[in-house]
Amino acid sequence: MKILKLNLIAFGPFQDAAFDLSGGASDFHILFGPNEAGKSSALRALRNMLFGIPLRTADNFRHPHTALRVGARLAGAGGQEIAFIRRKGQNKTLRAEDDKTLLAEDALSPFMGNIGQDLFEQMFAIGHDDLVRGGQEIISGGGRVGQALFSAGAGLIRLQAVQQDLALACDDLFKPAAQKPRINALLSQLQETLKSRKDALLHAKEWKDRESALHETQKHLEAIGSRLTDLKQQRARLERIRHALPLMARKKEIDHALVDCRQAPALADDFGRQRMDVEQGLAMARNDLARAAADIEKINGQLAALTVPEKLLEHGPAVSAIQQDLGSYRKARQDRPGLEARMRLLQKQAADQLAENGIDYDEGKTSHLKLPPGIIGDIRDLAKQYERLTARLEANQDQRDNIRNRMAALAKQEQTIAVPVDLTNLRAALESAQQAGPIEKKYAESRRAASEMETRLKNRLSRQTLWSGDMAVLDTLPFPSMESIDCFVQKFSDAAREIDRQKTEKAAIEANLVKIDIELTGMDLAQEIPTEADLEATRRLRDEGWRLISQQLAGHAPDPSENRKFITQFKKANGLADAFEQSMRQADRMADRLRREATQVSRKALHQAEKAHKQALKDTIGAALDAAVAQHDALAAKWAHLWEPAGIVPLSPPEMRAWLADMQTSITRYKDLRAARSAGDFMAAELESLKIFLIQALSSHHKILEPTRPLEELTAAAKACIIEGEKAIAEAAAIRKEVASLEEESSGLTSARARLKQELATWKEKWNAGITALSLTPDTGPGTAQSVIEGIQQAKRCINDADTLRKRIDGIDRDCAVFIKKINDLKTLLAPELDAESPDIVAESLNDRLAAAREAATRRKDLLDRLDNARRDQADAEKQIAESNIRLDSLCREAQCDNPEKLAEIEQQARLKKQFLEENEKIEKDLRNLSAGATVDDFIAEAGSMDPDAIGPETERMDAEISVLEQESAALNQNAGVLKKELQNMDGRAAAAGYAEDAEAVLASIDAEVTQYCRLKIASAILSRTIEQYREKYQGPMILRASELFRQMTLGSFTGIRAEYDEKGDPVLVGIRPDTGDQVRVEGMSDGTADQLYLALRLAGLEQYLENSAPLPFVVDDILLRFDDRRAAATLNVLAELSKKTQVIFFTHHQHLVDLVKRELRAVSPVIHTMSL
């Protein structure tokens, strides 16, 4: 199938945009669009056109959902065509070109060949992300051949992740000897549930005994509880008294201390702080008063000694202004002589300049020196024009001379070039040899590789000992299938597990029997536990004695032997009566023991019953174990029979599975060896054909070479011959082209010379008119005229500068006169004694006096401010003293004293009294809490009657008794809990039913999880087998083609790839370096090279598919982002070759790739489509 036209009617940013993919010289189409040009939208439109627009799409930002349309015209492999429009919708989305007529939903099936969207995107579409993930997967998979071929050939980039996900999912469900996986956990849960169900079904006989024991235990617990309560109450009373004794002693001490300070008044809590604040404030106020009085006296003395000149301060601004102007006055007087000298110099320079040009200078008359600006500009322009015209004439003459010389040299050179010969056949032969690549090296390498493969295969076969024979019959041996071996592995495993299970169960039962015997022996050793049979025997013995006694009482003499026999069964029996009495006591004791030790008796009976049950179960398991062993032996016979056709005595199934896998690898390598030999034969024939073609082509150019010469030497001779012929053709063509160009250039130079002479005559007329206006003769040259103009202008500039200096000197004289008048006025008013001094000295003296006057005024103001502050401080101190005295009087009244000096002593007594009262109140509160409801006085009287030394020993005795009782109570509580639990479990029918339901629910969960586990295991096995079958089927041709593509993409950095075997014997891909033949594992390749390896495998797989199936367009989306320019160009050439087999549509954002296509593509001419909005 081929896309002839893609019409973006209304999709994404596009409106009625069409791409014609039917024209052009090839089926290689480049769709280029810079960022924001809609390249990604166009790519989505192509996929949506084939398989439908998704219900949720982001391409409706310009057009509403109902308006989205993508049209196309497709051509099938048989020449049939279809034009249609795809709209967005859930059904009936295909329409004819009129957008009205409905088409069947399967109308595209004849063109797509039953290829669905997922398969199309996996095999016929590849983007940059797909390429990167494919390269990363090859690296992370270690280059395993099966995975690499299958994922590349089928486009399944996540193949390795899928296999890992399947394995992880299986491990999450079940792992041997694990606990956390779901099936393992469910099995453990089922086992616990069944055990709980069994434990729920107890014997009913024990219920009454356990109820009676629980009743007795509870009565004992009540008695212990009552005793514990009494003891704890008595102990608590002693503890309260023990804690109260120190408090009572302290209360007595406080009562005595309160007698000494009962007269102290009650003062406020902050009385001491107030007293200290008042005393400190009074002392500080007195100090402030003394300091203020001293400051006032000092400041008044300083004011009396200070003098301030008010008149000078009044004229201060005028004095300051004179001081500011003093610097300007001095600088002006200093600058005036220099300015006057520069003015005289400028006037002299102007006179000299004019004299050089024959013009008289009069200082008062300079109007005749003004030149018209227009004439000066014209003269300068004409001078520059003259220089340009003369330079161009000279250059024109030089060029004409050079052209004549060059044409003469070219004529001589053309006579020495040989006549060229047609190079078409030679080029074709050389191109064929170059396209074949280093075929000689590859042929030698192929033979070496085949030899190495044969050697490795022989070594491999020699290492196994189960089979020996000719490797040629390897692929015909009747080995069992892996499925059969897996079946036997499972059966043997099941049989072994069954045997192990039976043995384990038997060992467990035997261990239980030993444990039961040990417990029964322990019971007997600890104290012989009577049974019902023992009770019955003692009663029979008692009845026998009574029978003998009854006979004797009835007057019938008993048999003496029976008497002796009865009496001898009792130690120290004095006659029949004494023996009968002992038999009665023995029977009564036996009955009492049975009643007291009912639990032990019951346990012993249970153990004996359990021992009988376990013994029967042991016999059953032994029979099952014998049957499992017989089944295992029968399975071993079938296993040996399975290998008889191949003449092999097998090892265990797991070992034979590994052996068969190794043999299958050997078979695969033998097939690889045959393929390598076939490829070598093909390369030998191709090499011979290329040599003959080159030798025939070289003979037409008089180059005779032998067929035994290496192909490399023949291609080198062809290249040299072509270069020589092309050089001769190029040289002749270049000479002819250059001669024509020189003749054309010479004609142009002749015409240009005539135009320059005409321009020079016109210039002469303008020059004569301009020079006359300057009063110069017509024969005056441009240089002389410009010199005269420059002289006049220079003189005029000197005269103007001299006039400017004259004005500055006049201004200086005026400013100095004004400054001297101001100085004289101030001197007369403020300092007549300075009349004889110069103006600048007078200005400086007045400024110094003004600074001193201002400093005195500032000093006076500061002293007055300080005086005001000192008077305010004096008043504040007097006020503070009065307030402090008032507060002291108030504190004395509160302390009930008339002297402030006694306040501290009274304050100390009041504080002690308060502390004693507070402590006494706290003690009474603590005693009230310890009295347990009694009054404090009664409690004190009771505590006082106790002997303090007797409290400790009595408490210790009570603690010991309480500890014993609590331990006994804990043991009884535990026993009661056990009895209650046992009583609850006695009626276990409902619980057992619940456990049975739980067990059924767990079994249902196990069934579901096991079903899922089987699905995952089968899926993993099918995937692994499919990969291996794909490798076996396509490894040879696909690797050969991928090797060639990889060599082209890497520019010969790798001569190709081939399958080798890692340390585990698995086939892996390796790259082959040129020259050295070194192997490079995929882990050692760069990311970009791994991408190119994956692309080579994808393209080889695609070509394999196209050999047997109808072509479909191969859609490529910017896959060259990590390729450099040279490898990108090589890859583009590979895609161009692919376009000869199927349509290739290459989407890209990058302009440099488009330029690369135009510059580097050799095989075909691609069609470039530029997208824009």
pLDDT tens across 194-235, in order?
777 666 554 444 566 667 777 888 888 888 888 888 888 888
Q: For residue 863, how many other CB atoms are within 10 A of its CB?
A: 17
- Residue-wise pLDDT tens digits, 460-490: 888 878 887 777 777 788 888 888 888 888 8
Distance CA 1074, CA 1052 (A): 7
- Residue-wise pLDDT tens digits, 358-374: 666 666 666 556 666 66
Tell me if 201 sits within 8 A of 988, measured CB to CB: yes
**pLDDT over 50 (residue 124):** yes
- Find the range with the poorest average confidence among 151-155, 554-558, 694-698: 151-155
The residue-averaged pLDDT of 377-395 equals 79
Residue 83's pLDDT is 93
Distance CA 1119, CA 130 (A): 9
**In this structure, what token pair is assigned to residue 180?**
């956390």
Say what the pTM is: 0.35
Between β-strands 28-32 and 14-20, what pairing exists: parallel, antiparallel or unpaired?
unpaired
> Got the DSSP string for 609-664?
HHHHHHHHHHHHHHHHHHHHHHHHHHHHHHHHHHTGGGT-----HHHHHHHHHHHH
**pLDDT over 90 (residue 329):** no
For residue 42, the surrounding DSSP H or E stretch is helix 39-51
Between β-strands 1114-1117 and 1144-1148, what pairing exists: parallel, antiparallel or unpaired?
parallel
- Find the range with the poorest average confidence among 44-58, 96-110, 822-836: 822-836
- Residue-wise pLDDT tens digits, 977-1029: 777 776 666 654 445 556 666 777 778 788 788 888 788 878 777 766 665 55
Confidence band (pLDDT; 50, 70, 90) for 87? very high
Residue 1146's pLDDT is 92
The residue-averaged pLDDT of 854-883 equals 86
The closest alpha carbon to 1120, from 1135, 1139, 1141, 1102, belongs to 1135
**In this structure, what token pair is assigned to residue 654?**
């797991």
Residue 138's pLDDT is 56
Q: How far is CA 735 from the centre of its chain?
A: 66
Confidence band (pLDDT; 50, 70, 90) for 1030? low
Which single residue is written with the structure tokens 């390897």? 474
- Find the range with the poorest average confidence among 99-113, 146-160, 615-629, 704-718: 146-160
Residue 123's pLDDT is 76
Residue 861's pLDDT is 86
Confidence band (pLDDT; 50, 70, 90) for 690? confident
- Find the range with the poorest average confidence among 388-397, 843-852, 995-1004, 1018-1027: 1018-1027
- Residue 368 CB-density burial (10 A; 0-12 exposed, 13-18 middle, 19+ buried): exposed
Strand partners, 1119: none
Which single residue is written with the structure tokens 């999450």? 172
Residue 934's pLDDT is 78
Residue 152's pLDDT is 47
Residue 1036's pLDDT is 60
Confidence band (pLDDT; 50, 70, 90) for 70? very high
- Residue 384 CB-density burial (10 A; 0-12 exposed, 13-18 middle, 19+ buried): exposed
**pLDDT over 80 (residue 793):** no
For residues 1168 and 849, the model is more confident at 1168
The CA–CA distances, whole Å, from 118 to 129, 408, 1019 equal 16, 73, 19
- The mean predicted confidence, pLDDT, of the chain is 79
Confidence band (pLDDT; 50, 70, 90) for 522? low
**pLDDT over 80 (residue 841):** yes
Residue 1023's pLDDT is 65
Q: What percent of the chain has pLDDT over 70?
A: 87
**In this structure, what token pair is assigned to residue 676?**
């390598």
Residue 23's pLDDT is 76
Confidence band (pLDDT; 50, 70, 90) for 71? very high
> Can you state the angle between helices 128-140 and 1087-1108, rounded to 10 degrees?
100
What residue segments make up the domains of the chain, in order of their start? 134-175+1002-1083, 233-261+909-946, 266-362+843-895, 373-413+710-772, 507-646, 948-985
The closest alpha carbon to 103, from 66, 72, 65, 124, belongs to 72
- Residue-wise pLDDT tens digits, 134-185: 656 655 554 444 444 444 444 444 455 566 677 778 878 887 767 778 888 8
Q: Which amino acid is at 627?
A: A
- Residue-wise pLDDT tens digits, 308-318: 777 777 888 88
Q: How far is CA 1086 from the centre of its chain?
A: 22
The residue-averaged pLDDT of 104-127 equals 81
- Residue-wise pLDDT tens digits, 708-737: 778 777 788 878 877 777 777 777 788 888
The residue-averaged pLDDT of 943-950 equals 77
The closest alpha carbon to 1101, from 1028, 1032, 1039, belongs to 1039
C-alpha gyration radius of the chain: 64
